[in-house]
Amino acid sequence: MKDIIYDFLDYIKLEKNYSDYTEINYEIDLFKYDEYLKAQKLNYLRVKYKNISDFIIYLQKCNYKSTTINRIISTLKSFYGFLEKNHKISTNPFNLVNSLKTPKKLPNYFKYQEFTTMIDTLENTPLDIRNRLILELLLATGIRVSELANIKLIDIDDNDKEIRILGKGNKERIVYYGSYASMALQAYLNSSRKILLKDKESDYLLINNNGNKLTVRGIRLVIDKIVKKSCIKSKVSPHTFRHSFATLMLNEGCNIKSVQELLGHASLSTTGIYTHLTNEEIRREYLKAHPRARN
């Protein structure tokens, strides 16, 4: 099964253009499944619904969260779909499997004041000029960190303040940014990018300290360092910027369909979770302000 797993991973990477992060998760899930099948002496090409049900029960007994189990199910649905497409099996047994019910968990987001606190920790060094651009672009556009890392200079139109983004499944969209991000971009391009390149050449916007493309992991480390230095209370990860962008837009009256387009969500229901965030904010403000609602 090992060889076909790597064939599948090549397929999602090269043909489906899935992110490195997704590929790593798929690899972990598939080898966990392979390990289980070997222990049960099962052939992956001949599994039945009962075998899959037993596997899910096994994961539950191992105390995996329902969200993690659903991710594994999704991985295996894709894997067996690949096998079916390549005529290794006649039907995908995972098409019969439903996802587990999961408790609704609202995504983390930070307040605008917390963002300015993060910005205030940055100095005027080449790296911090780049880091300012990272923060400004993430909040201005709501793009994924993998999309940020893959922005090329040719993708940016600073006259119209827009960036062409290649998202999940090779879907292209346009995102926009404002004057703060534009000033950060010009400061970076006019000074620190040339210093960081160290006489090298690169098509990519963001450059690391060695003159190479800044990776997703590199951006995560940058943000972790800034958050730690700023001592803000909110739990902030790179993806929190995406949640915060959506929340800010909806709070300021942007319609949900526009937010969907800007985020690159395939389904409006995915964007819908942010309305719960804004509604909860409204509820808190109401309880705090209305004289007949306070305790």
Q: In the numeric block, which tokens belong to residue 220?
A: 């995560």
List the domain range (segments joined by +) for residue 176: 112-287
Catalytic residue among 16, 111, 164, 239: 239
31 and 141, same domain (yes or no): no
> What per-residue confidence (pLDDT) applies to 181?
94
Q: Residue 294 domain-assigned? A: no
Q: In the numeric block, which tokens belong to residue 151?
A: 């922005």
> What per-residue confidence (pLDDT) applies to 289?
73
In tens digits, the chain (295 residues) has pLDDT values of 889 999 999 999 888 888 888 899 999 999 999 999 999 999 999 999 999 999 999 999 999 988 899 999 999 999 999 999 999 999 999 998 988 887 666 667 888 899 999 999 999 999 999 999 999 999 988 888 999 999 999 999 999 999 999 877 778 888 989 999 999 999 999 999 999 999 999 999 999 999 999 999 999 999 999 999 998 877 888 888 888 888 878 777 777 788 787 877 767 666 666 666 666 666 776 677 766 666 6
Per the CB < 8 A criterion, the answer to whether 213 and 200 are in contact is: no
142 and 269, same domain (yes or no): yes
> What per-residue confidence (pLDDT) applies to 290?
63
Phi, psi of 23 (to 5 degrees): -60, -40
Looking at 96, 130, 152, the residue that finishes a domain is 96
For residue 166, the surrounding DSSP H or E stretch is strand 162-166
State the Cα–Cα distance between residues 279 and 107, nearest whole angstrom.
13
> What CATH number is given to the structural domain containing 172?
1.10.443.10
168 part of the active site: yes
State the Cα–Cα distance between residues 102 and 261, nearest whole angstrom.
26
> What per-residue confidence (pLDDT) applies to 81?
94
11 and 141, same domain (yes or no): no
Looking at 30, 63, 96, the residue that finishes a domain is 96
233 part of the active site: no
> What per-residue confidence (pLDDT) applies to 2?
86
74 and 130, same domain (yes or no): no
Residue type, 90: S
Phi, psi of 146 (to 5 degrees): -65, -35
Per the CB < 8 A criterion, the answer to whether 229 and 163 are in contact is: no
The DSSP 8-state label assigned to residue 23 in this structure reads H
> What CATH number is given to the structural domain containing 21?
1.10.150.130
242 part of the active site: yes
State the Cα–Cα distance between residues 164 and 283, nearest whole angstrom.
37
224 and 81, same domain (yes or no): no
257 part of the active site: no
Looking at 40, 66, 96, the residue that finishes a domain is 96
156 and 91, same domain (yes or no): no
Q: Residue 102 domain-assigned? A: no
24 and 88, same domain (yes or no): yes
State the Cα–Cα distance between residues 245 and 253, nearest whole angstrom.
13
Q: Residue 210 domain-assigned? A: yes
Q: Residue 88 domain-assigned? A: yes
121 and 230, same domain (yes or no): yes
> What per-residue confidence (pLDDT) applies to 157?
94
| Sign of the torsion formed by the C-alpha atoms of 173, 8, 40 and 42 | positive
46 and 176, same domain (yes or no): no
Q: Three-state DSSP class for 162?
A: strand
Per the CB < 8 A criterion, the answer to whether 214 and 150 are in contact is: no
Catalytic residue among 144, 177, 188, 193: 144
158 and 47, same domain (yes or no): no
149 and 280, same domain (yes or no): yes
Q: Residue 29 domain-assigned? A: yes
- Selection from 79, 83, 80, 82 nearest residue 93 by Cα: 80
Catalytic residue among 152, 168, 173, 220: 168
Q: Residue 282 domain-assigned? A: yes
State the Cα–Cα distance between residues 123 and 59, nearest whole angstrom.
48
144 part of the active site: yes
Q: In the numeric block, which tokens belong to residue 143?
A: 């793009």
276 part of the active site: no
Q: Residue 175 domain-assigned? A: yes
Task: Provide the domain count of the chain.
Answer: 2
Q: Residue 105 domain-assigned? A: no
Residue owning tokens 């590199």: 218
> What per-residue confidence (pLDDT) applies to 168?
77
Q: Please measure the distance between the N-terminal and C-terminal CA atoms of the chain and give it in whole angstroms.
A: 62
